[in-house]
Amino acid sequence: MCRLLGYLGDPILLDSILYKPEHSLIVQSYQPREMTSGLLNADGFGIGWYHPHQDTDPFTYKNTQPIWNDINLPSISRYVESGCAIAYVRSATSGQAIDLSNCQPFQSGRFLFVHNGFVQNFRQTLYRPIRDRFSDATYQLINGTTDSEHIFGLFVNELTAANLTPVVALRNSLQTLAELAKYEEVEFSANIIVSDGHQLLASRFASPKTPPSLYWLRDDINFPKAVIIASEPLFAGNWHECPAQSIISTGGDGDLEIYPIL
């Protein structure tokens, strides 16, 4: 299981959410509190962010080594400022390669995507059925071998096949995942954070078990006019558990909406 983080609000230096909180993403990489599978998140990490003053495609920084071993990230995170960023630390599913092609966040245009979860026996079960759903453009987008990137492919496929909102595209892609998993009789979990720089979407979804942990926080005294979504609370505060089997959405106004997936 990976650990996820998303931020949307006033521009901040990345180190204020990556390093400074007492239970930061760095700490969660080696001392997670709520992981249901695995002990460490030592199989790489990735960060994606948007320029605070220009409407450009996002930037990413990825590495396959543990986040605590990266000597460049502390300096980068004290330099880079953004009003929208997502990040994750990876605990790779057994049998999945640890290389940059499998390292999140995944990107398509302005969209960035990170996933915490799994598809049971992915290569033997849903690998081919999911790929059969892809348009040629989506098929060419997939560079790695993970279940995470193929779920991302379902989202992109929905987003580009019709004039859908990101919320509807994410919900449709997760409904497709659930239908395929039910047919193949496999378990899955899909905690996701996705952004286009102007909004954050997140899902907390699994079948048949309870989804992994996911929380949201809004207008904290240290992060006013901001929403933070995280696998585990970063610090003491008014954190709320994201409802299971649901999508939450927030935009620049800070309002938060909840949508059922099924």
DSSP 41-86: --S-EEEEE--SSS----EEEEESS-GGG-SSHHHHHHH-EEEEEE
Instruction: Judge if the upstream peptide bond of residue 224 is cis by omega within 30 degrees of 0.
Output: no
Return the closest-CA partner of residue 1 out of 153, 144, 214: 214
Distance CA 19, CA 27 (A): 8
Catalytic center residues = 2
- Under DSSP, the state recorded for 100 is G
| Cα angle for residues 146, 148, 149 (degrees, 5° grid) | 75
Q: And the tokens for 140?
A: 């060419």
- Under DSSP, the state recorded for 17 is H
Distance CA 135, CA 141 (A): 10
Distance CA 218, CA 255 (A): 9
Q: Which residue carries 């193929």 as its tokens?
A: 150
To the question of pTM greater than 0.85 for the whole model, the response is: yes
Can you give the C-alpha Rg of the chain in angstroms?
Answer: 17
pLDDT, tens digit (0-9, with 9 covering 90-100), for 170-188: 999 999 999 999 999 999 9
pLDDT of residue 143: 95
pLDDT of residue 161: 85
- Is CATH 3.40.50.300 correct for 3-260? no
Return the closest-CA partner of residue 187 out of 45, 36, 44, 86: 36
pLDDT of residue 212: 96
Instruction: Judge if the upstream peptide bond of residue 66 is cis by omega within 30 degrees of 0.
Output: no
pLDDT, tens digit (0-9, with 9 covering 90-100), for 38-61: 789 999 999 999 999 899 999 999
Domain ranges of the chain: 3-260
Which of the residues in the chain have pLDDT under 70?
A: none
The torsion defined by the Cα of 137, 139, 143 and 144, in degrees rounded to 10, comes to 150
Q: And the tokens for 92?
A: 């790779």
